[in-house]
Amino acid sequence: MPLVNPPTLDDLPATPDRADRTSFAVRCTALFDHLKNTSVAQWRAALSWMNAAASAAAQSVQDAAGQASLSGQRADAAAASASAAANTLAAAQAALGAVKWVPGAYASGACAWSPINGQLYRARVAIAASVLDPINDPSNWFSLGLMSLPIQQVTNTGGSFYGAANGGLNTINEITFAGACAKYLPQNPANGDVCVVVVANGRADNSLVVNPNNPIPLQVGANTVTDSLVLGIPPGAITFKFFSSSNVWRYM
């Protein structure tokens, strides 16, 4: 409960002076009346207020100490979570025999982790001289981060993937349609969502189209695409990731 302003203490009446016999009795009466009727109540109220203020101050100190302890616990928990995540990644890397990627030769199927993003990659074929970080070399490295995504086949063209506004979201979409395939990107992605496309029809005229119902540009390097992007015949999976801060589908 918040404290109100401290009680007011009235000034005492004029002090009786024995040398002034004419006012002595009147002043004595006024002084004792004030002490009895006013001062005692005011001082009691003041003492109660001071006790409440002292208790409130002590409680504030206790609350501050509790908050500091809770903050410390939360910091410890956050540090423990970060440590657990790092240990989990390290365990996965160790289980796969993954090493930190450095320029050099890699056997087919070898696993390495990217020093850029810390993610795992597996060599598609034997690489005599790997000079690009796996994150920038999808023709030679397969991202193991995609292995948990569901796979669906795209067997028609036009509109959204699978006829749904968010079709193709967080999915590996394998284009098997025999003709030129053009599909809208998912309409309402959340930050970090991906849309992965694998060209499996051997055509160089497939395309991804900016969804007209919610136009989100595609960012490929320094180039911004606001209509459609021809895919050509990429050597592997094409991954676009949504960055809500920039409102773009960014080629990964």
Q: How far is it, in rounded angstroms, from Cα 189 to Cα 244?
A: 8
Domain boundary among 109, 143, 177: 143
Number of domains observed in the structure of the chain: 3
Pairing state between β 127-130 and 182-184 = unpaired
Q: Which two tokens stand for residue 106?
A: 């890699």
> Residues 159, 239: one domain?
yes
Query: pLDDT tens, position by position, for the chain (252 residues)?
Result: 445 567 777 777 777 777 777 877 777 787 777 767 777 777 777 777 777 777 777 777 677 666 655 555 555 555 554 454 444 445 544 445 678 899 999 998 888 888 876 777 888 889 999 999 887 787 788 777 665 577 899 999 999 999 999 999 888 899 999 999 999 999 999 887 889 999 999 999 999 999 999 999 999 988 999 999 999 887 678 889 999 999 999 997
Tally the C-alpha atoms within 13 A of residue 217's C-alpha that lie toward its C-beta.
11
pLDDT of residue 92: 47
Q: Domain range spanning residue 125?
A: 99-143
User: Domain for residue 126, yes or no?
Assistant: yes
pLDDT of residue 95: 46
Bridge partners, residue 160, by sequence: 184
User: Domain for residue 3, yes or no?
Assistant: no
pLDDT of residue 5: 66
Sequence letter at residue 187: Q
pLDDT of residue 186: 95
As a whole number of Å, the end-to-end CA separation of the chain is 56
User: Domain for residue 172, yes or no?
Assistant: yes
Query: The domain that contains 178 carries what CATH number?
Result: 2.60.120
> Residues 201, 172: one domain?
yes
Q: Which own/partner contact pairs does 148-157 have at CB distance under 8 Å and 24+ positions apart?
A: 149/194, 149/196, 154/181, 154/183, 156/181, 157/181, 157/182, 157/183
> Residues 106, 177: one domain?
no
Estimate to the nearest angstrom the gap between the alpha carbon of 162 and the chain centroid: 31
Q: How far is it, in rounded angstroms, from Cα 85 to Cα 192?
A: 18
> Residues 116, 192: one domain?
no
Q: How far is it, in rounded angstroms, from Cα 212 to Cα 222?
A: 22
Q: How far is it, in rounded angstroms, from Cα 224 to Cα 204?
A: 20
- Do 237 and 171 meet the contact criterion of CB atoms below 8 Å apart? no
- For 44, other C-beta atoms within 10 Å of its C-beta total 11
Sequence letter at residue 125: V
> Residues 246, 157: one domain?
yes
pLDDT of residue 213: 93
User: Domain for residue 2, yes or no?
Assistant: no
pLDDT of residue 82: 47
H runs (alpha helix) in the chain: 21-34, 40-95
